[in-house]
């Protein structure tokens, strides 16, 4: 606990910096609404003291007419004429208060929507700029969850509470002028009585912030269990293996842990707030009694008593409200730290100051020069000292057990990662000298864990080349090349059919049908290099053979890289690279590797034996 308290000063600096950032964020989200909120805040701030002063004048006017006997001598209407302008002014002030209140509600509604959009867009845009390695690390998802969890709500809280605090400050300044003219000592006692409550709430805000931030990994695990228990794909296996109660039990264990921590904090905070709140109330009512006594002995008029009581009542409320708001601002500003820490993350892959553009037209050559790669925070090499050349128009197959390093090979080629050692050349130029977007646009890839987009069938294919999203002729050609045309022909609305089960009228597909859609997406791109990473694992052997016969035709004159466990397909490649535990063990044509009698020959013969 002592270590947490020692950080209070740095926390205050962070909170102040984030407060200014949140205001800038609001101005960027919707400047007119932000300025509008500031304007109605200023109007609302001066209304209480104005209404209290007008109320004093009305009471004193009525009391003067009553004491002087004006009601009896001149009549009620004549006696009240001096008071009527003040009544009209009070009505105008009340009306203005209602207008300001409704205006603030409108501006707040507009800002809430725009701020949420601004923050969510910033979070997603930042994700687009980050390298793949971020998304393969648990710590990144902790930061992402902390950033997304409460950022939009906290930003709006900062804005609303900030304007409310400003309103209370202006009110308190106006009240202080009146109260200090009446009794400086009473004013100081009244304001000072609320300080202990503020300090206690501030302390619990810091503890609550750190508690929620530290538990992010466990909170993500809790969300994971919730998703698994309600996910369509997971439901089948969970039911068959009887995992439901086990996972639900783990979910509940985390819930009750969080609940006990939160409940203990709430009990402690409530108890200390109650004690300090009672002390503040005693100070308030002591001052209240003293003012009444002053009016009874005739030192103050009834209007003065009314004014000062209103000032005391409202100043007590405003001062305690201000302390509460400062505390809320402090807590919300700390939570905004999570958002800004996420937004300040930088990509690790360097970009050349003068990047080159990859030309689509050939000839092309790819070369791996002593390439080694190790994933961040993981021991050992995923690839180690790999050297090979892929010539123009050549078809290369990668063979190896799961986890051997084949997909890592593709990730390095597409520059989702940079080699730890060595370099990869395209046409004799290091990949790091190319513009990353230009490089990836020149390589068509379909991974074995391809995405099943919950959009139309046409868009699922067109996403392979976003610039041709509306080119129906090109989409149809790509669908035919990947074998997806026969799938789409059976759909009720053809290319306009919504795929997946997330949205209404969606049609889910079998694994093999989804793979044909994904193959169409790969053929959508007019790429210099085409990479297929286990693209036909859900297809039968006959269909896979047919696709790869066409694959050779469709990639004629282009470099193509194929990863497959079916040697009937692999043998069609010009050369085959056998990777084992991250190292290139064998490299050559099908005939050469069979003649070598090594790992490839053994695996090929084992698979061939299974078909006899």
pLDDT tier at 385, thresholds 50, 70, 90: very high
Second-level CATH architecture of 452-526: 3-Layer(aba) Sandwich (3.40)
pLDDT at residue 43 above 70?
yes
pLDDT of residue 539: 60
- 452-526 shares the fold of 17-343: no
Q: How far apart are CA 453 and CA 351, in angstroms?
A: 30
Q: Hey, which residues does 579 pair with through a beta bridge?
A: 584
The pLDDT of residue 9: 47
* Letter string b/e over residues 96-121, b meaning 16 or more CB atoms within 10 A of that residue's CB: bbeebeebbeebbebbbebbbebbee
Contacts of 82 (CB under 8 A, 6+ apart): 61, 65
Q: Which helix (H) or strand (E) holds 586?
A: strand 583-588
Q: Are 36 and 107 in contact (CB under 8 A)?
A: yes
In the predicted structure, residue 361 carries a pLDDT above the cut 70: yes
Averaged pLDDT for residues 465-470 = 85
- Look at residue 3 in the predicted model and tell me its pLDDT: 40
pLDDT of 187 above 70? no
Q: Mean per-residue pLDDT for 385-408? A: 90
Judge whether 49 and 178 are in contact, CB under 8 Å.
yes
Least confident of 7-21, 311-325, 545-559, 572-586: 7-21
Q: Return the pLDDT at 538.
A: 55
297 vs 67, higher pLDDT: 297
Contact 201, 195 (CB under 8 A): no
Other CB atoms within a 10 A radius of the CB of residue 235 amount to 13
Name the pTM for this structure: 0.64
Q: How much is the pLDDT for 241?
A: 62
The percentage of residues in the chain with a pLDDT greater than 90, rounded to a whole number, is 12
Q: Which is higher by pLDDT, 235 or 360?
A: 360
Name the token pair of 241: 């293996």
Helix orientation angle between 8-29 and 31-68, rounded to the nearest 10 degrees: 100
At 248, list the tokens: 């639900």
pLDDT tens per residue across span 417-444:
899 999 999 999 999 999 988 888 888 8
- Residue 104 pLDDT more than 90? no
Q: What six digits make up the tokens of 167?
A: 């309103």
Whether the predicted pLDDT of 2 surpasses 70: no
> Any idea where the domains of the chain sit in the sequence?
17-343, 452-526
Edge-first strand listing for the sheet containing 583-588: 443-446, 529-533, 559-563, 395-399, 575-580, 583-588
3-state secondary structure (DSSP) of residue 332: helix
Q: What is the pLDDT of residue 236?
A: 59
Task: Identify the top-confidence range among 178-182, 432-436, 602-606.
Answer: 432-436
- Whether the predicted pLDDT of 230 surpasses 80: no
∠ at Cα 184 (178, 186), nearest 5°?
100
What angle, 0 to 180 degrees and rounded to 10, lies between the N-to-C axes of helices 216-228 and 244-296?
Answer: 130
Q: Indicate the pLDDT class of residue 575, thresholds 50, 70 and 90.
A: very high
Order the strands of the 383-390 sheet from edge to edge.
383-390, 366-373, 421-426, 429-430
> How far is the C-alpha of 560 from the C-alpha of 393, rounded, in Å?
7
* CATH number of the 17-343 domain: 1.20.1560.10
What's the token pair of residue 312? 């005391």
d(C-alpha 197, C-alpha 275), whole Å:
8
Task: Tell me if 377 sits within 8 A of 458, measured CB to CB.
Answer: no
Higher pLDDT, 517 or 172: 517
468 secondary structure, DSSP code: G
Per-residue pLDDT band at 371 (split at 50, 70, 90)? very high
Distances (CA, A) of 146 to 119, 142, 217, 572: 13, 6, 10, 49
Tell me the pLDDT band of 389, cut-offs 50, 70 and 90: very high
pLDDT at 401: 84
Tell me how far apart the terminal alpha carbons of the chain are, to the nearest angstrom.
Answer: 71
Torsion of CA 514, 520, 521, 523, to 10 degrees: 150
- How confident is residue 368, by pLDDT bands cut at 50, 70 and 90? very high
Q: What are the tens digits of pLDDT across the range 194-203?
A: 666 666 666 6
Percentage of residues in the chain with pLDDT exceeding 70?
A: 79
Q: Give the three-state DSSP class for 453.
A: coil
Task: Determine the average pLDDT of the residues in 214-222.
Answer: 69
Kindly report the average pLDDT of the chain as a whole number: 78
pLDDT in tens, 332-344: 776 777 788 888 8
- pLDDT score, position 365: 92
**What pLDDT score does 7 carry?**
41
Higher-scoring residue by pLDDT: 317, 585: 585
pLDDT beyond 70 at 25: yes
Q: What is the structure's pLDDT at 110?
A: 85
Neighbours of 276 (CB within 10 A): 19
Look at residue 24 in the predicted model and tell me its pLDDT.
83
Q: 3-state class of 358 per DSSP?
A: coil
From 425, 418, 441, 437, select the one nearest 360 (Cα to Cα). 441
Q: Mind giving me the DSSP string for 92-135? A: HHHHHHHHHHHHHHHHHHHHHHHHHHHHHHHHHHHHHHS-GGGG
Q: Per this entry, what is the length of the chain?
A: 612
Q: Is the pLDDT of residue 1 over 50?
A: no
Confidence category of residue 474, pLDDT binned at 50, 70, 90: very high
């Amino acid at each position: 606990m002592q270590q947490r308290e020692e950080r209070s000063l740095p926390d205050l600096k962070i909170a102040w910096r984030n407060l200014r950032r949140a205001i800038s964020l609001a101005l960027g989200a919707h400047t007119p609404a932000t300025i509008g909120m500031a304007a109605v805040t200023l109007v609302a701030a001066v209304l209480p003291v104005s209404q209290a002063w007008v109320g004093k004048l009305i009471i004193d006017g009525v009391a003067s007419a009553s004491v002087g006997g004006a009601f009896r001598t001149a009549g009620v209407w004549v006696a009240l004429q001096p008071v009527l302008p003040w009544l009209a002014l009070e009505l105008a002030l009340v009306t203005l208060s209602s207008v300001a209140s409704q205006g603030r509600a409108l501006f707040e509604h507009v800002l809430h929507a725009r701020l949420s959009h601004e923050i969510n867009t910033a979070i997603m845009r930042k994700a687009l700029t980050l390298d793949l390695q971020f998304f393969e690390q648990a710590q990144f998802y902790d930061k992402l969850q902390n950033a997304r969890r409460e950022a939009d709500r906290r930003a709006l809280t900062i804005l609303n509470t900030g304007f409310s605090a400003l309103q209370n400050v202006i009110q308190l300044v106006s009240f202080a002028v009146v109260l200090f003219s009446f009794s400086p000592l009473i004013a100081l006692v009244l304001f000072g009585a609320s300080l202990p409550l503020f300090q206690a709430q501030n302390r619990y805000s810091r503890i609550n912030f750190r508690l929620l931030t530290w538990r992010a990994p466990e909170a993500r695990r809790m969300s994971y269990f919730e998703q698994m228990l309600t996910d369509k794909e997971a439901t089948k296996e969970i039911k068959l293996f009887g995992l439901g109660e086990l996972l639900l039990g783990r979910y509940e264990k985390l819930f009750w842990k969080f609940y006990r921590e939160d409940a203990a904090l709430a009990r402690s905070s409530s108890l200390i707030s109650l004690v300090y709140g009672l002390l503040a109330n005693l100070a308030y009512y002591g001052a209240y009694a003293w003012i009444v006594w002053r009016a009874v002995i005739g030192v103050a008029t009834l209007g003065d008593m009314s004014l000062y009581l209103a000032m005391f009542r409202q100043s007590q409320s405003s001062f305690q409200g201000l302390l509460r708001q400062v505390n809320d601002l402090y807590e919300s500003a700390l939570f905004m730290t999570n958002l800004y820490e996420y937004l300040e993350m930088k990509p690790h892959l360097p970009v050349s100051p003068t990047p080159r553009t990859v030309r689509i037209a050939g000839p092309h050559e790819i070369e791996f020069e002593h390439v080694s790669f190790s994933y961040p925070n993981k021991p050992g090499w995923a690839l180690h000292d790999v050297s090979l050349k892929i010539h123009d128009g050549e078809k290369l197959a990668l063979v190896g057990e799961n986890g051997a390093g084949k997909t890592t090979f593709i990730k390095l080629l597409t520059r989702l990662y940079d080699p730890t050692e060595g370099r990869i050349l395209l046409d004799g130029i290091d990949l790091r000298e190319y513009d990353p977007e230009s490089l990836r646009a020149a390589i068509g890839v379909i991974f074995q864990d391809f995405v099943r987009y919950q959009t139309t069938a046409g868009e699922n294919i067109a996403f392979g080349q976003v610039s041709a999203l509306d080119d129906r002729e090109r989409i149809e050609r790509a669908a035919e090349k990947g074998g997806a045309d026969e799938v789409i022909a059976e759909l009720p609305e053809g290319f306009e059919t919504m795929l997946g089960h997330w949205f209404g009228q969606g049609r889910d597909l079998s694994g093999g049908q989804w793979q044909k859609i994904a193959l169409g997406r790969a053929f959508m791109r007019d790429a210099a290099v085409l990479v297929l990473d286990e693209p036909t694992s859900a297809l039968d052997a006959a269909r896979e053979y047919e696709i790869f016969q066409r694959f050779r035709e469709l990639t004629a004159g282009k470099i193509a890289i194929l990863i497959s466990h079916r040697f009937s397909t692999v043998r069609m490649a010009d050369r085959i690279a056998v990777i084992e535990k991250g190292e290139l063990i064998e490299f050559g044509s099908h005939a050469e590797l069979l003649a070598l009698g090594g790992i490839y020959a053994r695996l090929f013969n084992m698979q061939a034996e299974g078909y006899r």
